[in-house]
Amino acid sequence: MPPRTVLILGGTGEGRALAAALPRFRVISSLAGRTREPLLPAGEVRIGGFGGVDGLADYLRAQRVDVLVDATHPFAAQISANAAAAAAVTGRPLLVLRRPGWIERPGDDWHRVPTLEAAAALLPRLGRRVFLTTGRQGIAAFADTPECWFLARSVEPPTPPVPLHLEVLLDRGPFTVDGELRLLREHRIDVLVSKDSGGADAKLVAARERGIPVVLIDRPALPAAAATATSVEEAVAWLHT
Ligand code: NAP
């Protein structure tokens, strides 16, 4: 029997960890191609969009994919919707691997908002020196907030429009609490903006320690999935059943 073929829609640490944890499968990982030097997962890798639901469905058939795993970032709503639709039309089982969101702890001062735009509107009331960690594509939403100064961290440089008062810090995690505390102190940050991505939380711990507010952007709604896993271990177990 040839090994079962798994297509992992990735671009996340979980996607890479899952690809490395399936030695008995033929694993293809798919990346969107947003970063110039992506961290490459183990196994086969393809890069670039599929061309919508039809393109993804064609790919599943052409590559004889047996099972589809959506291990994309919780904010990558379009590809998740496409994955659900393509799995349905091709009759492939779909597993959604999604790390849990963050939970507020004593000492936190969190302000949850539904969108990047709502975060930008709220900011001037909470602080003026902002640590913006929403990623390159999330920076444009803050372009019309001239009252604030931004330290924006991203893997790739942002493209216009960008805020008037902006310093860009090109960096990729993992980050440490000590490193985050140093950044907050050196740049006199008085408010942090983050998506509720879940996972490593050094920046949130640092904000709590310094007593600064956090604007947390809620996750977009995702299509209902037949199967979900919240960790790589759960996903591996599901794939072996
Ligand atoms: P998105 O808005 O949900 O998707 C837009 C389009 O990009 C999709 O329709 C698809 O094009 C293509 N695409 C997205 N992910 C893909 C993948 N893994 N493989 C092939 N094509 C993909 O996506 P996004 O929010 O820009 O995220 C892009 C990638 O970055 C994802 O892999 C995600 O896991 C990763 N990422 C996103 C964030 C975030 O905050 N959004 C953060 C960290 C990492 P076609 O319709 O042509 O197939």
143-190 residue pLDDT tens:
999 999 999 999 999 999 999 999 999 999 999 999 999 999 999 999
| Shared domain check, 173 and 136 | yes
Ligand 1 centroid to residue 33 C-alpha, Å: 8
- pLDDT of 199 > 90? The answer is yes
Would residue 48 count as lying in a domain?
yes
| Shared domain check, 57 and 25 | yes
Burial of 62 (0-12, 13-18, 19+ CB in 10 A): exposed
Q: Are the C-beta atoms of residues 196 and 101 closer than 8 Å to each other?
A: yes
Ligand 1 centroid to residue 29 C-alpha, Å: 13
In residues, how long is the chain?
A: 241
Would the CB of 72 count as within 6 Å of ligand 1? yes
Q: Which domain holds residue 53?
A: 5-100+220-239
The pLDDT value given to residue 222: 87
Q: How confident is the model at residue 102 (pLDDT cuts 50, 70, 90)?
A: very high
The pLDDT value given to residue 225: 75
Would the CB of 49 count as within 6 Å of ligand 1? yes
| Shared domain check, 204 and 140 | yes
Ligand 1 centroid to residue 76 C-alpha, Å: 5
| Shared domain check, 176 and 78 | no
Ligand 1 centroid to residue 185 C-alpha, Å: 33
Q: How confident is the model at residue 136 (pLDDT cuts 50, 70, 90)?
A: very high
Ligand 1 centroid to residue 66 C-alpha, Å: 21
Would the CB of 222 count as within 6 Å of ligand 1? no
Ligand 1 atom showing the smallest separation from residue 9 Cα: 18
pTM (2 decimals)? 0.95
Would the CB of 136 count as within 6 Å of ligand 1? no
Ligand 1 centroid to residue 123 C-alpha, Å: 27
Would the CB of 116 count as within 6 Å of ligand 1? no
Least Cα distance to 76 among 138, 25, 157 occurs for 138
| Shared domain check, 164 and 136 | yes
Would residue 210 count as lying in a domain?
yes
Nearest Cα residue to atom 39 of ligand 1? 75
pLDDT tens digit string along 225-234? 789 999 999 9
Q: What is the mean pLDDT of residues 200-217?
A: 98
**DSSP sequence for the chain:** -PPPEEEEE-SSHHHHHHHHT-TTSEEEEEE---SSSPPPPSSEEEES---HHHHHHHHHHHTT--EEEE---TT-HHHHHHHHHHHHHHT--EEEE-PPPP---TT--EEEESSHHHHHHHHHHH-SEEEE-S-GGGSGGGTT-TT-EEEEEESS---SS--SSEEEEE--S---HHHHHHHHHHTT--EEEEE---S--HHHHHHHHHT--EEEEPPPP----SEEESSHHHHHHHHT-
Would residue 40 count as lying in a domain?
yes
Give the number of other CB atoms < 10 A from CB of residue 73.
23
Ligand 1 atom showing the smallest separation from residue 81 Cα: 3
The pLDDT value given to residue 112: 98
Mean pLDDT score of the chain? 97
pLDDT above 70 as % of the chain = 100
Nearest Cα residue to atom 42 of ligand 1? 73
State how many domains the chain has.
2
Would residue 185 count as lying in a domain?
yes
